[in-house]
Structure formats: structure tokens, C-alpha cells
Amino acid sequence: MRVFHDSRQRLHAPAEELHNGGFTAYAEKPERVDAMLAALAATERPEDRGLAPVLAVHDAGYIRFLQDAPRLWREAGRTGDAIPYAFPVVGRRPVRLTRIDALLGRYAFDATTPLGSHAFEASYWSAQSALAAAHAVLSGERAAFALCRPPGHHAGADYCGGYCHINAAAVAAQAMRDAGVGRVAVLDIDYHHGNGTQDIFWTRGDVFYASVHAGPATDYPFYWGHADEVGEGEGRGATLNLPLPRGTRLDSFRRAQGAALDAIARCGAGALVVSFGADTWAGDPISHFALETDDYALLARDIAGVGLPTAVVMEGGYAVDALGANVASFLSGF
Ligand code: SP5
Ligand code: ZN
């Protein structure tokens, strides 16, 4: 399978993240890339398709903020990574924001996604890798893998969060639409609900979003991913949420993924984007499902059975020592 990755995706390396009231080592670290590269055959550098496909799903002011934030942070006399601490969650009217801390709160939904000086550059190339995979499958590959990192599925049109800045899976799905695929499906099987992807396509009927994830009552991102979230307007019925309890093993995960795949097969999609997270693995340090390495090959075979051209986009997975084997197992199923 063709694998796309750019070494600039490695540059984003925040020192610490806020976790349960204190600071702890950043889980989404560049060593994740090394672990995956070591387990995969040769990778290809993506072409640079520019900002236009990114701006097709993201707000221009938000993208400018991602580019400017490190400079504004330094100009405010700060060192280290930019972290927000105040959020306009009470629905304040739109006001012109200039101070870095005001902008951070406006464009982030959590305080666990530090913006280091290379966040934009790394995420930009992560999105280019996803675009390259999308174009590879549009040109005839049955499946292609975008070794994305930073991940993307928590990033919405105008917000970052959950270690994500640019939503690579959404960028890939939109690129497929713009290339003429009438309907695109996104299957999200990261441990966490992909709130950003859901939000981006919430009111649209042309991109079907299905997610299997840990229930939001116990798990991040808490405010999205409930079973009754089905989309709105023209998007009503084009969002499918299948939350599962902590401790979930292969049998019930596979059943839920099967329900998502049935819906995808019925929706008339011409191409598929898979947001794949290996944080469903039993030993993941921040998650609580119980999948085994060999299970991923089986899950991938089920996905391949739908017969759609498929761009696989990497999301989470924080057990670095097992990450290569888990990703290799998943890709072996296609
Ligand atoms: C893409 C993805 O999987 N994002 C997950 C974001 C989860 N963030 C909330 C949980 C924070 C746990 N922090 C653990 C720190 C370990 N040093
Ligand atoms: Zn995750």
C-alpha cells in the first residue's frame, strides 16, 4: 500500500500537556512517527497542494491564527508553548480580538492542545499527506495510508483541540467531493469521538460521518458523540454515532463497526476516508478499550469488504512501543 508522510510533520513537539490538574508529558509526541515508520515499507512525500484544500473546510481567520499564534506568543514575552486559559463559552458577541490569550480561547476548545512554534507547519503537512492519499485512491489505488501526525479529527472549522489543529480527514473527504465523488463516507474508529469532523459536515448530506468510540459520558470529548446526534438540516441522518463502554473488546467493537459499514454501504458513497486510531488497543496509556494487535487486521478486512476506494488517515494511538505493530496489522487487512 502507498504510504504518505512528510518529515516536517515531526516538528511539532510540545513539552507538556495539562492533565487532571497538573502538567504531564505530551502524549501525542513525534516518536509516534518513528514507531510507525519503522514498521512500514517505504513512504512517499506528499505533493504540496497548497492552502486551498485546507480552506475548503477551515475558516480563514482560524488558519491565520494558527500561523500567527507562535509569533504573538513570543511578542507577548512568553516562552514555551502557547496554551489557552479563557474561553468565550457563554456566547459573547463577536469582538475584534488581538491579545494572544483572547485568540487562543476563541480558537481552541480545550487547554490540552499546546501550540508550539511548529504546530501549523506540522499540521499543514499532515493534511497534505491526507490529500495525497485521497488523490492516490481517486487515481485507482484501492487503499492508501496517510501517516498523519499531528492528528486531525478533533479540529473543527474554526477550532483546535484534542492534539488536533487541521482536520486532515475532513480535508481529504472534501477533496474527494471536489474531485467529483458525489457522496463521501468517513468512518472514524479512533477511541475518541471525532467531534471536529462531525461538526464540519453536520449540516451536509454529501458527506456521511459514522463513528465508533468511547461513550462521551465517561470519555473525552464529553460534549459530542452521543447516540442521538444525527446531523441537522440537509445533514439529518448523515451522522451516525455508536458509543461503546470502557472495556470494549473485539466482538462488540466489530459489531458496532459492522453497523457503521452497513450504513455506509447503504448511503451511496463513492469513496471512503477512515480516521484510524490505535488508541483502542488494550495497552493504550490514555484510553480504555481492549483491542489486540491482531484484531486490527480483521477490522480492516471488514472495511475493505465494503469495496470502496479508501484513504486511511492516522489519528490517535499513544502506546508508542506497540504503535508500529498495530498500524501494520491494520494496513495488512486491506
Ligand atoms: C486524536 C486523539 O486521540 N486525541 C485525544 C485527545 C485526548 N485528550 C484528553 C485526554 C488527555 C489525557 N492526557 C494524558 C496525558 C498523558 N501524559
Ligand atoms: Zn483518540
Angle between helix 295-304 and 250-266 (nearest 10)? 10
Domains of the chain, start order:
2-58+117-332 (3.40.800.20)
What average pLDDT is seen over the chain? 97
The reported pLDDT for the residue numbered 93 is 84
Q: Is 196 in the pocket of ligand 1 (CB under 6 A)?
A: no
* pLDDT above 90 coverage of the chain, percent: 98
| Ligand 1 atom with the shortest distance to the CA of 315 | 1
188 lines ligand 1 (CB under 6 A): no
Q: Does the pLDDT of residue 91 top 80, yes or no?
A: no
Phi, psi dihedrals of residue 24, rounded to the nearest 5°:
-140, 165
With 90 as the cut, is the pLDDT of residue 201 above it? yes
| Core vs surface per residue 98-127: b (16+ CB within 10 A) or e | eebbebbbbbbbbbbbbbbbbbbbbbbbbb
Instruction: Find the helix packing angle between 320-332 and 31-39, rounded to 10°.
Output: 40
List 5, 58, 153, 154, catalytic entry:
154
Query: Which DSSP string corresponds to 216-238?
Result: TTTSTT-SS--TT----GGGTTS
Q: How far is the CA of 192 from the centre of ligand 2 (A)?
A: 4
| Minimum CA distance residue for ligand 1 atom 3 | 316
Length of the chain: 334
CA of 180 to the centre of ligand 2 (A): 30
At 99-114, the pLDDT tens digits run 999 999 999 999 999 9
Q: What is the pLDDT of residues 115-170, one digit of tens each?
A: 999 999 999 999 999 999 999 999 999 999 999 999 999 999 999 999 999 999 99
Average pLDDT, stretch 220-244?
98
CA separation for the pair 77, 202 (Å, rounded): 39
Q: Which of 5-19, 80-94, 234-248, 312-326 has the lowest mean pLDDT?
A: 80-94
Output the pLDDT for position 170: 99
- Which pLDDT score, from 0 to 100, does residue 92 have? 77
The whole model's pTM is what? 0.98
Pocket test for ligand 1, best of 110, 149, 190, 220 (most atoms within 8 A of CB): 220
Catalytic residue list contains 12: no
ipTM for the complex shown: 0.96
Q: Do 267 and 303 contact (CB within 8 A), yes or no?
A: no
